[in-house]
Amino acid sequence: MLVTKSSLALFGLLYLLPLGISVLLYQRTGIGADWWSADRSSIGRLPPAWDNPAALVRVFAAPTVRWRGILAVHCWIVLKPAGGAAYTRYDYTAWGEPVRVNGFAPDGRWFGREPELVFAADGEAAAAMIPRMQAAIAGYAWRNRGDYRAWPGPNSNTFVAAVLDAVPEAGAVLPPTAIGKDFPYDGRWLRRTASGTGIRLSLGGYAGITLAWVEGIEVNILGAVAGIDLRRPALKLPGLGRLGLPSVPDTGPDTGQAPA
């Protein structure tokens, strides 16, 4: 009985309380009304592509549209080969062609919500990743109309996670609020993590556990993730995301130089 009570208390502390706080924060901001006319303009994070000859890879995340932003973020990928004159943005969406190319500004607001930087690579490191990321995008299995499922996946975060699996050296870690990132897009319920530093068990995206040096310790219950990052110390909580150091050093507006 004591074990049961302790388990329920821990579940309430790590899952229900953070989600409740996230609901209150959402109500306070009032963001979500008139989403169809919400701002989707650039936040000025990226320099003009023609003024930056180096190859570039970025992954961004922003709260999803309307009430779903309480629980989850939407992730996307931006690529630019060396010498490229334009950025190419890749999203996976529920409308139109699932893999959407340049449907929005590369660093644009997601229906009024500002994105955060999840991963950045420049120069030779980015140039080495881009061909494999492009191949993963072209070969993504869930790319047909009707494949998209907001929960437990495959969704936008499943797509980005699959592409990042192609570049383990990136060590990119999607936010704990990227619901769908643990969906087994390739059918494997047990596999190495994207960084190659641990393992992930996923029961269809509905539940699972991750144990890795780069990704940290994560427990997935119905898509909600709680855990801890020891490498870059932070708590990971449903709805609230990371509390602690960011997964990538924030260098402010991009200059075309690799982050420290």
Specify which residues 61 forms β-bridges with. Answer: 75, 116
Is-contact 240 15, C-beta < 8 A? no
51-102 pLDDT tens trace: 889 999 999 999 998 888 899 999 999 999 999 999 999 999 998 889 999 9
Q: How many percent of the chain have pLDDT more than 90?
A: 75
pTM of the model: 0.92
Higher pLDDT, 66 or 103: 103
158-233-176 Cα angle (round to 5): 20
Sheet architecture: strand order including 73-80: 99-101, 88-92, 73-80, 56-63, 116-122
Question: Which strands sit side by side in the sheet containing 234-237, from one edge to the other?
Answer: 190-192, 198-202, 207-212, 216-221, 224-229, 234-237, 241-244
pLDDT at 30: 59
Residue 77, strand partner residues: 59, 90
Tell me: pLDDT of 28 over 80: no
Tens-place pLDDT, residues 112-146: 889 999 999 999 999 999 999 999 999 999 999 99
The burial class, CB within 10 Å (0-12 / 13-18 / 19+), for 224 is buried
Give the least confident one: 34-48, 58-72, 194-208, 212-226: 34-48
Q: How confident is the model at residue 252 (pLDDT cuts 50, 70, 90)?
A: very low
Q: Give the 3-state secondary structure of residue 45.
A: coil
So what's the pLDDT on residue 134? 98
Per the CB < 8 A criterion, the answer to whether 164 and 174 are in contact is yes
Tell me the pLDDT of the chain averaged across its residues: 90
Helix (H, G, I), strand (E, B) or coil at 190: strand
Strands 73-80, 207-212: parallel, antiparallel or unpaired by DSSP?
A: unpaired
pLDDT of 183 above 90: yes
- The answer to whether the CB of 145 falls within 8 A of the CB of 123 is no
Give the pLDDT mean for 203-207.
Answer: 96
Q: Are 29 and 63 in contact (CB under 8 A)?
A: no
pLDDT of residue 257 exceeding 60: no
Vertex 257, ends 251 and 260: CA angle to 5°?
Answer: 50
